[in-house]
Amino acid sequence: MISIRRYEHNPILKPGIIDADMRAAFNLSPIHFGKGNKKAFLYRGEALPVKVGDKTFIESKICVALPSGKGFTRKVLVEPSEEWDRFGCEDARVTKLPDGRFAIFYTALSSFPFSAEGIKVGVAITRDFETIEEKHLVTPFNAKAMTLFPEKINGKIAGLVTINPDLPPSRIIYFEVDSVEELWNHGLWTEKYEDIEALPTLNLTTINTDHIEIGSVPIKTRHGWLLVYSRIQNYTDEARRVFGIHTALLSLKNPQEVAGDTRHPLMIPEEQYELYGNVPRITFPSGAEIEGKTLNIYYSAADTVGAMAQVNIDHLFEIMLGHIHRLVERSSHNPIIVPDKSKAFEALAVFNPATVTIKGKVHMLYRSMSRDNTSYMGYAVSKDGIKFEKNVEPAYEPREAFERKGVPGGNSGAEDPRITLIDGTLYVCYTGYNGLEAPRVALISISEKDFLKNNWKKWSKSKLITPPGIDDKDACIFPEKIRGKYHLVHRIAHNVCLDPILSKDLDAPFIVETVTPILKPRVGMWDSQKVGLAGTPLKTKKGWLFFYHGIGSDKVYRLGVALLSLKDPYKVIARTDEPIFEPELSFEKRGQVGNVVFPTGFEFINKGKTLHIYYGAADSVIGVATVSLARILDIFETK
């Protein structure tokens, strides 16, 4: 289980410093060289467009950001000068050679308008990143993103190159040569390319509609050669295309063999600087390095700026090697609450429980359904958080027009409560639905004293707090004020939103009128279709733990977790790449709605070291599971 964290000062490289990068500065490749092991970045600079005949032409050059004082100075290092790169030099990968020189492989553009036949690999040789000693055309065929391994493999110079990147499907191939000069021996390449099926291809996890391309120079680790690469889903369909960053582990002795791979992207375009730019919706890796236990991934954002993201390398190894330890453990007593068919208000199902701990006991308001599909709130209490005693009557039953049944036999009522305890009052948000109008968020409240006495007549009058005509649900009052105001967490469409409440206190009538998404579905991942609040956010020293449910293209409900900033909960610090909990057992896979785990209650136990997760299973029964708080927080550590 991992989370990737974008660098807080992103983007780290912006255009507009020198003439060569006035339009864009992106695709960073880091290198250390010279005395003091100075760190520099090669990057792709794009100048402002110029006219070539009746067409607009954007010239690319390989620029270098060299250390200077506390910052960097920029200059052009590799520029078009040969027939085979006269229309551009793009996207460098740099490796130190055995003789101390550096080989800069780049994409050479020889034709305009650009075409696959004119896109090949070139190489420039330098010792000091001040001057270029020589340049050569490397591949006589369509190729990009060539790189060498930083040391010999089995006594030979070895490398990787992406072939047919502009004639899909692309492939990443492994090669070995006796000397670096062989790389621009076109007779050798032509001989290899004639038998394309015989070329050693990396067996990465892809499907026919994916496009793959090398991102970084391979990094040697104890588990294998770490390769950061790009996988573009639905490459041929521009409307559905998704740029994702992946990693793979290659065998140390035989890098043709893939020892591990990431199943889902580590990241896709989500931030503004990734979604909008010269080419929108792009996160494309171009370099990487390991510092301590952190993997720094350098990437292009919208083909405009250079950015960085970080991930804990040990967590990444676990994912790639399949050494994933179960985070969440189910109770052997599951399901802990089942319908009581003798009680009309819960004869059909019980699920989706909201919880609160008061005076050492766990109190639960759960959604129950009668046989005519009316939802009520049942009440149960437990001393140990496992064995619950239920009340014989509902704690809350539909009473307002917006939650009374409008269609005979159709769904209606008070659905999926979440509890927030603030200053001695329990505020319960739930979905009010009458089967006729769009579901909306409703709010009731009760004093802690009356709640403990089960004095349900003391519920406040229920009121709708979200605008009419908008499907809005999965809500709670945020536990603390943000910027001096109370806020509502809620789900509109497929996004989780966080918005201020339009009143100074929670007792006055108020309504939420704004829509500010903080968590969205991630295309191509397990939560690609819809996300929604699980339980009320939990405050920790690292940030607000924000558990959420996600639904993917397979329609399975799973649980993920994000970390929100303590100072600014609008800011998502990081988010898990994989779900931490998903349907596995029969009572979770089969019921009113199959393949659903829907956690809505989270309570600290064991002196705050552990969490109880209360969840609805298949919209039919209630279960509980436990997870270590330390292990959850560890997911968000990048160092």
Examine the pLDDT at 98 and tell me if it is beyond 80.
yes
Q: For 186-258, where are the alpha helices, taking DSSP H only?
A: 186-194
Examine the pLDDT at 244 and tell me if it is beyond 70.
yes
Q: What is the band of 237 on the pLDDT scale with cuts at 50, 70, 90?
A: confident
pLDDT at 485: 93
One fold for both 5-321 and 338-635?
Answer: yes
pLDDT at 54: 78
Q: What is the band of 53 on the pLDDT scale with cuts at 50, 70, 90?
A: confident
Strand partners, 121: 107
Task: Give me the mean pLDDT over the 60-75 stretch.
Answer: 89
Count CB-CB contacts under 10 A for residue 344. 15
Distance of CA 584 to the CA centre of its chain: 23
C-alpha closest to that of 214 among 240, 175, 156, 252: 175
pLDDT at 104: 97
Q: What is the band of 626 on the pLDDT scale with cuts at 50, 70, 90?
A: very high
For 303, list phi and psi in degrees, rounded to 5. Answer: 50, 35
Selected residue with higher pLDDT from 374 and 188:
374
Examine the pLDDT at 11 and tell me if it is beyond 70.
yes
Task: Lowest mean pLDDT of 89-103, 203-217, 609-623, name the range.
Answer: 203-217
Examine the pLDDT at 197 and tell me if it is beyond 70.
no
Amino acid (1-letter code) at residue 564? L
Domain chopping of the chain, boundaries: 5-321, 338-635
Strand partners, 162: 144, 172
What CATH number labels 338-635?
Answer: 2.115.10.20
Element (H, E) at 635: helix 629-635
pLDDT at 200: 85
Contact 548, 560 (CB under 8 A): yes
Percent of the chain with pLDDT over 90: 82
- CATH class of the region 5-321: mainly beta
Per-residue pLDDT tens for 429-449? 999 999 999 999 999 999 999
Residues whose CB falls within 8 Å of the CB of residue 604, separated by 6 or more in sequence, listed in order? 357, 538, 610, 611, 612, 629
Task: Give me the mean pLDDT over the 376-404 stretch.
Answer: 97
Per-residue pLDDT tens for 151-183? 999 999 999 999 999 988 899 999 999 999 999
What does the CA dihedral 342, 345, 346, 348 come to, rounded to 10 degrees? 90
Per-residue pLDDT tens for 463-506? 999 999 999 999 999 999 999 999 999 999 899 999 999 887 78
Indicate the pTM of the whole model: 0.88
Q: What is the band of 95 on the pLDDT scale with cuts at 50, 70, 90?
A: very high
Selected residue with higher pLDDT from 524 and 118:
118
Is the previous residue joined to 335 through a cis bond, with omega within 30 degrees of 0? yes
C-alpha closest to that of 376 among 313, 483, 459: 459
How many helices (DSSP H) and strands (DSSP E) are in the chain? 6, 43
Examine the pLDDT at 207 and tell me if it is beyond 70.
no
CA–CA dist 521, 529 (Å, integer): 6
Per-residue pLDDT tens for 102-143? 999 999 999 988 899 999 999 999 999 999 999 999 999 899
> Sheet of 171-177: strands edge to edge?
143-148, 157-163, 171-177
C-alpha closest to that of 90 among 245, 247, 173, 213: 213
Examine the pLDDT at 145 and tell me if it is beyond 90.
yes
CA–CA dist 365, 354 (Å, integer): 5
Is the previous residue joined to 165 through a cis bond, with omega within 30 degrees of 0? no
pLDDT at 324: 65
